[in-house]
Amino acid sequence: MIAQLALQPGHRVLHFGGDEAALRAAVGAEGIVTATTLDSELPHHANSFDAAWVQEQLIGLADPAGAVGELAWVVRAGGRIALCEADWASLAIASEDRATTAIITAEIAAGRGDIGRHLPRLLAAAGCHRISIGAETLVLDLATLDEVAGLAIAREHCVRAKKITAEAAEAWWDGLQELDRDGGFYGALTFVRAVGVVMG
């Protein structure tokens, strides 16, 4: 993502969860790297920055399109906006109990959304062009996937909502743990990257 931002020494960069050390190295001592959040109106003037990098920050926003639109306002014409988000609708878990897996992964996707696949659309709607798109699928072990996806919470929600029985949830989890112990577990999540150039 750093290379796609086309940063030069002296550039001004706004970032939300990006790699600040890498950004500072790219813009040098004369450049400015500003960290902020997207949960409120940006306190910056139009054309204040040469680039912006957003890393896994749009997912919790009520108005991600509005946030990307603000970015396009504070980044100068010709500057670049880079977005990276998980696409939770892509979550894949291998289990012999496909029905329970489908219900639990749908529960997770419903709560976290599929913002990743919408990044190109958000950039286009904000007035960006020359949009480049990339994706990376990460294969995760069970412990990591449980931590980042909240598998335990999703199971509990599904049981309380009577989408699955407590017995089915327990058997599903036991099966995943057995696969993990035997080296047969597979879980994966896709992250989408999109970079757009702000039009003048």
SS (H, E, C) the chain: CCHHHCCCCCCEEEEECCCHHHHHHHHCCCCEEEECCCCCCCCCCCCCEEEEEEECCCCCCCCHHHHHHHHHHHEEEEEEEEEEEEEEEEEEECCCCHHHHHHHHHHHHHHHCCHHHHHHHHHHHCCEEEEEEEEEEEECCHHHHHHHHCHHHHHHHHHHCCCCCHHHHHHHHHHHHHHHHHCCCCEEEEEEEEEEEECC
- Residue 40 pLDDT greater than 70, yes or no: no
Query: The domain 3-198 belongs to what CATH superfamily?
Result: Vaccinia Virus protein VP39 (3.40.50.150)
* pLDDT value for 44: 81
For residue 11, the one-letter residue type is: H
pLDDT digits (tens, 9 = 90+) for 110-163: 999 999 999 999 999 999 999 999 999 999 999 999 999 999 999 999 999 999
Burial of 63 (0-12, 13-18, 19+ CB in 10 A): exposed
- pLDDT tens profile 41-75: 777 888 999 999 999 999 888 899 999 999 999 99
Parallel, antiparallel, or unpaired for β 49-55 and 75-93? Answer: parallel
